[in-house]
Each structure stands twice: as structure tokens, then as C-alpha cells.
Amino acid sequence: MRLCVPVPCFFGGKDFCQSIKTIGSLGFDAAETYNWKGLDLEKVKNTCDETGVELLSMCTTEFRMTSPANRRLWLDGLKESCIAANKVGAKKLITQVGPDTGAERAVQHQSIVDALEQAKPILEEYGVTIMLEPLNTYVNHPGYYLWSSKEGFDIVREVNHPLVKIIYDIYHQQIMEGNIIPSIRDNLDCIAHLHSAGHPGRNELQFGENDYKVIFSAIDKAGYKGACGLEYRPLLDPIESLKIAKEIYG
């Protein structure tokens, strides 16, 4: 498993390409970001090529999937984000599904499935994987619809397409469901990427209640070949924090 550095978590407000160079100098070969608008995509691609740091994922520009009324906005945002991903060399896009609209959950669930069904031709055209993100509603995202990884896995299996997957965030699921290792191990077919942070606090992995050395070892043994983003707010100096993460978990 590769460790991946989310640029905004450690280098927010700093030059993006210089941040990629710093990430490479620390011995990491994978990075990710969220809002891609405002980036010089060609320059970022060249910097990644020069440093050997792969930009694994970015976010879509629209997150509203729970209501059919917003379907066209989401699909248009997906297409423009796929075009951007191709320009920069990213193979994956993260999308949130949006708020709980108050409609019956079965109706909102079906709206997400229908959006993904309509997204298939776009994903196939650009060769990009879309990753749904379950989030916690207790601490960080009250009112969000998709809090259950189980429902996320159900949606992926209903859509049944190799370019539709889940990004499994260990921090969020520790809050909502626990049962981390079995949930990942038993659903590797649905998972394209991982995120991690210590809980409580969403800080360094070693400061939380989870033993990430045990978790990562179990995931490796299960055959996971992807990456895990260090998606936390560092309490330590960001460079020092990444060095320590590399020493402990790399």
C-alpha cells in the first residue's frame, strides 16, 4: 500500500507545484487534491512527471446526487472534472453525494444510483474512476446523506461498473460504524482509495484511538494494492509530521 499526501492538508495556501516537489523530496510518490479549479493543470502535470509524484485524485465540482433535480449539474460537473483529470494525469475523482433532502432514503438512494448509471458513458470516455465518499454526520458533516459504508458498497454493487467505486475513509467510518478491518477486507472489490486520520481530533494517525500499524498490516495482507491518503490536520510541523508518518507507516 502506498501513502498519499493530500496537498491542501499540509500545504494549504502554498504554491501547488512547489508542494509537489516537497512531497517528492520527502520520499512520497503519491499526492491528491480537492478543488482543481485555479490550478495550472499543464504545469502540475509536468511537475508530477519531473518528480515522479503521481497525482492520484481530485474532486468533482458538483456534489448533489440525492435529488434528481440536480442531476444535470452533477453530470456536467463530472464531465468537466474528467477533462481536467485527463489533462493532469489523475485517474480518480472523489464525489460526495450531497445532503439528505428529507425524502425517503430509498428515493435518495435510487437518485444516486440513477446518476451513476447516467455517468457510465462519461467515465468510459475519459477512463476515470468516480469514488463515492461516505462521511461522518456526528462530528464533521451533519445532514449529509451517505454516512454508511455498507450503503455505499450496496450502491457500487447495484451500479456494477469497474469505474464506480468507494473511497473508504477510516476516520469517518471509525466514528460511524467501527469494524474497520473487516469492512475493508470484505469489500476490497468496491474500494478504490483510502483516507486516514486519528480519531478524535482528525490529527496525526499515532495520536488517535486506532492502531494504524495493525490496520495497514491487515489491509496489506488482504491484498489491497491502492493508496491511503493521510487526510489529517497536522498538530506538528507539516514537514515533520509527514516525516514521522513515513517512518511509522511507510
Q: Give, for 36, the enclosing helix (H) or strand (E).
A: none
Q: What is the CATH number of the domain that holds 153?
A: 3.20.20.150
Confidence of residue 200 (pLDDT cuts 50, 70, 90): very high
The verdict on residue 173 lying in a domain is: yes
Is residue 8 a part of any domain in this protein?
A: yes
Select from 201, 167, 153, 172 the least CA-distant residue to 59.
Answer: 167
Share of the chain above pLDDT 90, in %: 100
- Report the domain count for the chain: 1
Residue 112 in domain: no
pLDDT digits (tens, 9 = 90+) for 20-42: 999 999 999 999 999 999 999 99
Across the range 188-215, mean pLDDT stands at: 98
Range of the domain at 151: 2-58+79-94+128-136+146-249
The predicted pLDDT at position 207 comes to 97
Please enumerate in sequence order all residues whose Cβ is within 8 A of that of 221, keeping only pairs 6 or more positions apart, or say none: none
CA 219 to centroid of chain Cα atoms = 17
pLDDT digits 0-9 by tens, 52-99 = 999 999 999 999 999 999 999 999 999 999 999 999 999 999 999 999
Gap between the Cα atoms of 207 and 226, Å rounded: 24
Round the average pLDDT of the chain to a whole number and report it.
98
| pLDDT value of residue 229 | 98
pTM above 0.95, yes or no: yes
So which residues are the catalytic ones? 133, 231
Q: Does residue 208 belong to any structural domain of this protein?
A: yes
- The pLDDT score that the predictor gives to residue 250 is 86
In a domain, 201, yes or no: yes
CB 58 within 8 A of CB 94: yes
Q: Say how many Å lie between the first and final Cα of the chain, rounded.
A: 9
Mean pLDDT of the region 233-239: 98
225 lies in a domain? yes
pLDDT in tens, 112-171: 999 999 999 999 999 999 999 999 999 999 999 999 999 999 999 999 999 999 999 999
Residues 6+ apart with CB under 8 A from 201: 207, 208, 233, 235
Prior bond of 8 cis (ω within 30°): no
CA distance 106 to 102: 11
| Residue 72, in any domain of the structure | no
Half-sphere exposure of residue 72: CA atoms within 13 angstroms, side-chain side = 1
- Looking at 161-211, list the stretches that DSSP marks H as alpha helix, in order from N- to C-terminal side: 170-176, 180-185
Which of the 8 DSSP states describes residue 68?
A: G
Domain membership of residue 104 (yes or no) is no
Cell of 63: 456534489
